[in-house]
Structures are given as structure tokens and as C-alpha cells.
Amino acid sequence: MAFCVEKVTQFTRRFGAVGLCVLLILTSGQVHAVESRKVEKMIEATLPEEEQKAAAREKQKTLDEGKRLYNRFCFHCHGRNGRGDGLASHYLFPAPRDLSRGIFKFHSTQSNSLPVDEDLSRTIRRGVPGTVMPTWGKVLGEEEIQSLVVYIKTFSERFEQEIPDYQIEVDLEPPFDSISIPLGKELYRQLRCSRCHGDEGERTGSLGKNSNDIWGNTSFVFDLRRPELYKTGASSDDMYRMLMAGIGGTPMNSYDYLSADERWHLIHYLQSQFSRQTPLSSQTNDVLVSVPIPGPVGLTLEDSVWEHAPALQVQLDSVKARERPIHSMTVQSVHDGQRIAFRLQWKDPVPDGASNVSSYYLDGVAIQFALQPGKAYDGPFFGMGEREKPVNLWHWKADSTQKIHGPPVNKDHDSPVQKAFTHLSLNPFNESPVEELNAWGFGSLAVQSMENQQVSGNGFWKDGMWTVVLVREFITPSKQDVQFSGPDPVLLAFAVWDGASRDKNANKMVSFWKTLTLK
């Protein structure tokens, strides 16, 4: 708004009252976005030549910085030209956004309108829950995010031809009470939201698996009872704007035809269905601290040792959306000055391991280490590294040696229940369920030689939870291994495979980079 007032003032000084009248005529009423952009460009053209050159230099500087950051962090998924065709895109569902179309799912403007800059920066800053789009606000500063926004807008001609429509105003919220919630529930029924989202928002509707977005991809319906999965946020104001704007390019329409009270009643009903668990996204600690212990580190450490080790809750996101995702895992670490151990725990109602019945899809977990010390800003791409920035992986699979204690918690699970692990080995040349690997980007995964297999590990399943311990010496002779020798923090990320969800290879749950420090 301040920008527009400044431009109008300059235009008036240059052309007087007549020019101002012309400008007001052009911009009065509901002017089309294309005409508004023409007026804006006409005003800019009236600036002195030196001011225009200075503005152009400043804009180019911002564009260059945005391009540098985009090619550093974004092109792996979105592609060099923003078409959503990066090397990682073939493995991801929902697919990365095609930025060249100028159609964005999340905006605070009217339906089918361009987003404002803050909409784009908010998506970059927060990430997109339920997908592998990270919260870049933990890595990038505000000026860097703004330069990314400026560069991303160059991918679509819409931003040169149109301006965003007016932003949605949030009306006053009525009380969240026993009157509003039933009215919202009735609206949910009348609007037939259950056809996509299920009777209570549990995403089991008949149309949930048969709807496509404008990019030709299946529109995956998420569980409305889980506030941490709301793409635009689960606060009252966020949900109000989402109902007014819809989700661009998807079957989720705008509900701007409802009255303000009706929208609030619907929001209150959805919020009344929320699970009361604290969303992982609110947990900002991304540092895993490995603490020293007096005794030697091994695979069979007493529980009391782990009770005194700080635990890091790691959020996991599915590379491909699935029915029963594993959303989080708990990680701890201890060391004795020469060896380091990691304990990883996650909930899984059914253990899927190597058996003579079904051994193709196995439960598994991996730790990925950046070989170069530093922060996430300077680290490799968190999806299998880069050509000049390789990663080291410790990969555990539920082979025949991993123990199962008691029957599965969920006996009605639709995957084959592994009633017993037989003596079927995953790798006849390796007695350990853990393999060390390296990667330099997609398609480059390689298993290290037998003499370089330095990690030992073991796991067991009990009461619906896997517990896996991985151990290795601080220093190894291999240049392909991460070394725990210096004071610099180490970047690490995690992945989980769920055999019941037919996970294998690239189909898994993953985390963004975390930081390991040795105390």
C-alpha cells in the first residue's frame, strides 16, 4: 500500500491534477488485474532515469541472490526452470509444485488469484506439512526468503501481467461453544464434505482417491483431525482464509458463498475433532546431544544408561503419501570417548521382517551423515547428498536375527503378520543387519566394501515399538565414513521404512537435517 501511495504522489507531481484524475479513473472500481499491472508499469516509467537505473540494479541484485539460493536448495525437487521436474520429483507424492504455471495452492487472496509475496514467503518459511517440503525458515533468513520469492515469480508470466487480488479479511470469530459446534457438524453433512474427507474427517470418503489436481496428480486427502497436517495452518484465522480461498489447483473449492458465521461454525466443528497431541512442528530443538558414559559402549547397554541420555523427537514426512504414516521417532546417543552409540525408537503396530512367508518389504531405519562438518545451510541436499557433497549412511533392516517379543498390537492389520522370524539372512556375505553405504545424489547409492563395514547394530520389537541400537568407533580408516573427531557439529538425518506400507528403496519416511554435538 505504501508503495502505491508513493507512486501516486510521484505521478501527481509530474502530471498534476489532470494526470491524477486519469489515474483514478483507471484504478477506480473493480479494475482487472492485467490493467492494474499496466498502470503500475506506466507509473514506474515516469520516474527519473537515474532512479529507474538504481531500482533496476537493486532488483537484479535481489534476483541474482534468489537464483543462487534456488539453485542451492530448491532445484532438486522443483527443477532448474521451476517446472516441478527436478531429479527428486520422480520419487515424491504429492509432486513438487510446478512454479511456471503461476498457480499456487496456498494464498490469502481470492480464489484463482495470484498470491501476495507474504503467501509465498510463508510457504517457504513454514514448509508444507505432510510433504517433504522442509521448513526453510530454520535455514534461511528473511531477506534470503524474500529474494527467493522474487526469483520464483520469474518462472511465470502471470506475475508480469497481473497483480494479486485483494487479501481476505477475517471476520470476527463467535464463541467456540456447544451451539457453534453442532451447527458446524450439520454444515459438514449438508456440504457433503464426507465424500472426500470421511464422516468425521478421517479421510475415508468415496471421492478421496479419485480426484486429481490441475497438474494431473491425485489429490491426496489428509486426516482433518490432525492439526499438524493442515497445509496453511490450523489456527482459526488460517482455516478461515483457507475456506474463503480454497486450495488452488485442487478439488478443494472456495466456500466464499457461506456466511461468515457458517464458516466459523464449520471451523469450530473441525477443531472439535482435533487430536490433543502437540504437533511436532512446534518443537524447535533440532540438536541431538551425545553424552559420555563411564562404561564401554556396546549394543546391550542397560536401560538406565539411556534414561539419562537426552532424547530428540524427530519429525518424519512421507516421500509418498500413505494411509498409515509413521510421523516421528525418538533418537538418543551416548559415547565413551572412543565409540559412539545411537538408539532409535519408533511406533509400529506390526513387525515386518525377513521370513519364509514374505520378506520383500522389511521394516528398516537409517542414519544419514554429511561427510563435511557444518550447518544445514552449507550441507548437502538432504535427499541422498550431492555430487560434490557425499553422504554416509548406516542402514539397518529387520533381518532374521532381530527379536520379536509378543504378538503384534494391531492384529487386524492388513499386511502379512510376521508371526516369527526364521533363519533367512538378508545378505549371505554380511552377518550384521546393518550396512554402510555412500551416496552422491540420486541413483548413486553404493555399498561400502566388506573391510569398511564398521557399524554394528541390533534391534528388537516389543509392545508396538521398534528399538534399534547402532554402534561405531569414533575414527575409522575409511575416507568414506563420517568421523567424530573434532569439535564441529555433525549433520545427520533419518529415514524409516515400514514393510506394512510396502516401503522399499526411495519409498520411505524422512527427516530434514539435524545437528549432532558430542558433550
Return d(Cα 117, Cα 136) in angstroms, integer: 16
Return d(Cα 430, Cα 450) in angstroms, integer: 8
Please measure the distance between the N-terminal and C-terminal CA atoms of the chain and give it in whole angstroms.
51
**pLDDT value of position 212:** 82
Distances (CA, A) of 50 to 3, 47, 54, 56, 232: 18, 8, 6, 10, 41
Q: Which residues contact 423 (CB under 8 A, 6 or more apart)?
A: 400
Cβ atoms within 10 Å of 272's Cβ, excluding its own: 15
Q: Which residues contact 15 (CB under 8 A, 6 or more apart)?
A: 22, 46
**pLDDT value of position 281:** 43
Return d(Cα 500, Cα 322) in angstroms, integer: 11
DSSP 501: G
Q: Which of 375, 363, 314 is nearest to 343 (CA)?
A: 314
**pLDDT value of position 35:** 61
**pLDDT value of position 274:** 92
Provide the pairing of β-strand 514-518 with 403-405: unpaired
**pLDDT value of position 310:** 95
Q: Which of 247, 177, 215, 277 is nearest to 89 (CA)?
A: 215
**pLDDT value of position 414:** 43
**pLDDT value of position 4:** 47
Each of the 519 residues of the chain gets a pLDDT tens digit; together they read: 434 444 444 434 444 443 444 334 333 333 455 566 666 667 767 778 888 888 889 999 999 999 999 999 999 999 999 999 999 998 998 889 999 999 999 999 988 899 999 999 999 999 998 889 999 999 999 999 999 999 999 999 999 989 888 889 999 999 999 999 999 999 999 999 999 999 988 877 777 667 788 877 778 888 899 898 898 889 999 999 999 999 988 889 899 999 999 999 999 999 999 985 544 444 457 999 999 999 899 998 888 999 999 999 999 999 998 878 899 999 999 999 999 999 999 999 999 886 534 557 899 999 999 998 888 999 999 999 998 999 999 999 998 677 777 777 654 444 433 333 333 333 444 567 999 999 998 888 999 999 999 999 999 999 999 999 999 999 999 999 999 987 889 999 999 999 999 999 999 999 999 999 998
**pLDDT value of position 426:** 38
- Which class does domain 283-518 fall in? mainly beta
Domain boundaries, the chain: 48-161, 180-272, 283-518
**pLDDT value of position 410:** 58
Return d(Cα 87, Cα 85) in angstroms, integer: 7
Radius of gyration for the alpha carbons in the chain, expressed in angstroms and rounded? 27
Cα torsion 194, 198, 202, 204 to 10°: value is: -140
Q: Tell me the fold of 180-272.
A: Cytochrome Bc1 Complex; Chain D, domain 2 (1.10.760)
CATH label, 48-161, candidates 1.10.760.10, 3.40.50.10800, 1.10.150.120, 3.40.50.300: 1.10.760.10
351 burial (CB, 10 Å; 0-12 / 13-18 / 19+) is buried
**pLDDT value of position 314:** 96
3-state secondary structure 217-280: CECCCCCCCCHHHCCCCCCHHHHHHHHHHCCCCCCCCCCCCCCHHHHHHHHHHHHHCCCCCCCH
CA atoms within 13 A on the CB side of 197: 18
Same fold, 180-272 and 283-518: no
Q: In a 3-state reduction of DSSP, which class is residue 63? A: helix
